[in-house]
Amino acid sequence: MVKVELSGAKDFFDVIGPDYSKISDAHRTLLEKTGAGSEFTGWLELPQNMLKTELKAIQSAAARIKGNSEVLVVVGIGGSYLGARAAIELLRSPNYNLIKKDTPDIFFVGNGLSADAINETIELIGDRDFSVNVISKSGGTLEPALGFRVFKALLEKKYGANAKKRIYATTDAERGLLHDMAAAEGWERFIVPGDVGGRFSVLSAVGILPMAVAGIDVESVLSCAVQELQDLTQQRSAENPAWQYAGARQHLYTLGRTTEILACYEPSFRFMAEWWKQLFGESEGKNGVGIFPASVEYSADLHSMGQYVQDGPRRLMESVVSFDEPNSELKIPFELGNRDGLNYLAGREYSAVQKIAARAVAEAHIKGEVPNISISVPKRDEAGFAALVCFFEMSCALSAYASGVNPFDQPGVEAYKINMFKMLGKE
């Protein structure tokens, strides 16, 4: 389970402290499914449902893709993209396509409108065998629909009638353009459950199929997630890490901390932070309220954003994610002559240096009046990933309900679409 440490934030609380009665009410509302958006709380049961239903079919599709494709193109955006990429970067590598492996390269497309990005992906695939996993719950989002059109045409050119055996569509069970096309063409279909919103869907086929293709132990991810959600939903007290995190950030928000930066010292966490930004940004930022979610990658960003964090306007709170144990060790070598002056570190592990640096940074930022919330899991592995996903989803729902908004809708994203489709001449 995730551990939350609030000692770096407590000095910034007022005498009353976090309002856990609000979090408790939010918890009840969520579990009793009586709040706004309650029809989208299927993520609470998602891992156990996946283990019982789609997992076997996903694993056999993944085995087929691994057997006949050197590349998998994953087409999707937002909640239909970020979770899978976050998992693959965190659990395999941010350089996944470059590492030596017995699983296909994976390219993510359909998450923007850049011709350059698509052309580069086509060039990188070259004449290698590939398959496409197109993911869209609504089945009509412009960016993935356009991207899919391009890669479907490439598949058809390369494989003719057999192209349809290389298309895997993850979409609504009953409706939408993608659903209709998949049903008509006979592409293999996976479900985005109707009661699970995009940004809460990483543990459905949306995330699980690309993760399985990348060689991640998805059964272990789902089993760990079942346990995590059980713990997070059963514990109704301020000992619950989701209560601690949601309570602290809502309290700090009422005290003027309007921006939260999520920091981590592992580069492999970068897309977890992107996933987290969508989760909290889309869930909380509405009706004129909401903490602005931003992210930094330490220690690199200490040399770019560090100045602002230490010394800029005091509207920040900082949440730092860490892993108790590193996945590998590296001893700092001794150098004869010590010309770089680093022998005082010789013989120490990199991970130990990282831990000390993180402690020093936290102390300095707290002194610079940035409240610090520490979030940790034992390891950067399947269990750690599942724990973080469930913890953030639960915290997000509690935090949004406590702030009085519906965590599960996103009415604001329609405004630009209306303008764009009008300008593009959509009939």
The answer to whether the CB of 88 falls within 8 A of the CB of 208 is: no
* Residue 191 binds ligand PA5, judged by CB under 6 A: no
In this complex, which beta carbon is closest to ligand PA5, that of residue 77 or of residue 316?
77
Binding segment toward ligand PA5, per CB under 6 A, in 77-85, 152-160, 288-296, 347-355: 77-85
Taking CB under 6 A as the criterion, the residue among 8, 18, 144, 147 binding ligand PA5 is 144
Nearer to ligand PA5, 411 or 425 (CB): 411
**Can residue 197 be called a binding residue for ligand PA5 (CB under 6 A)?**
yes
What minimum distance in Å lies between the beta carbon of 175 and ligand PA5? 11
- The label of the residue with tokens 């831990």 reads 355
Residue number closest to ligand PA5, CB atom: 198
Spot the catalytic one: 143, 266, 274, 282.
282
**Which of 24, 103, 133, 136 is close enough to bind ligand PA5 by CB under 6 A?**
136
C-alpha 369, offset from chain centre: 28
In degrees and rounded to multiples of 5, residue 171 shows phi and psi of -160, -175
Which of 8, 35, 47, 198: binder of ligand PA5 (CB under 6 A)? 198
One residue of 131, 133, 141, 374 binding ligand PA5 per CB under 6 A: 141
Q: How far apart are CA 402 and CA 24, in angstroms?
A: 9
Shortest separation between residue 145's beta carbon and ligand PA5, angstroms: 8
If one asks whether residue 79 binds ligand PA5 (CB under 6 A), the answer comes out as yes
For 405, residues 6+ apart whose C-beta sits below 8 A from its C-beta are 36, 283, 284, 286, 287, 289, 290
**Phi, psi for residue 331 in degrees, rounded to 5:** -85, 135
> Running DSSP on this structure, what letter comes out for residue 333?
P
Q: Given the rule CB under 6 A, which of 120-128, 137-145, 153-161, 302-310 is the region that contacts ligand PA5?
A: 137-145
282 binds ligand PA5 (CB under 6 A): yes
Residue 137 interacts with ligand PA5 (CB under 6 A)? yes
> Using the rule CB under 6 A, is 77 a contact of ligand PA5?
yes
Phi, psi for 111 (deg, rounded to 5): -110, 25
Q: Which is nearer to ligand PA5, 49 or 80 (CB)?
A: 80
Give Cα separations from 273 to 124, 126, 174, 261 (angstroms): 26, 31, 32, 10
> Is the bond into 223 cis (omega within 30 degrees of 0)?
no
Minimum distance between the CB of residue 19 and ligand PA5, rounded to whole angstroms? 27
Active-site hit among 303, 367, 422, 426: 303
Q: What is the spatial distance between Cα 158 and Cα 71, in angstroms, rounded to a whole number?
A: 14
Q: Which of 269, 226, 251, 223 is nearest to 377 (CA)?
A: 269
User: From the CB of 177, what's the least distance to ligand PA5, in Å?
Assistant: 10
Residue 260: active-site member: no
Q: Is 354 in the site for ligand PA5 (CB under 6 A)?
A: no
CB 134 within 8 A of CB 76: yes
For the chain, give me the number of helices (H) and strands (E)? 15, 10
Residue 199 binds ligand PA5 (CB under 6 A): yes
Residues belonging to the active site = 282, 303, 417
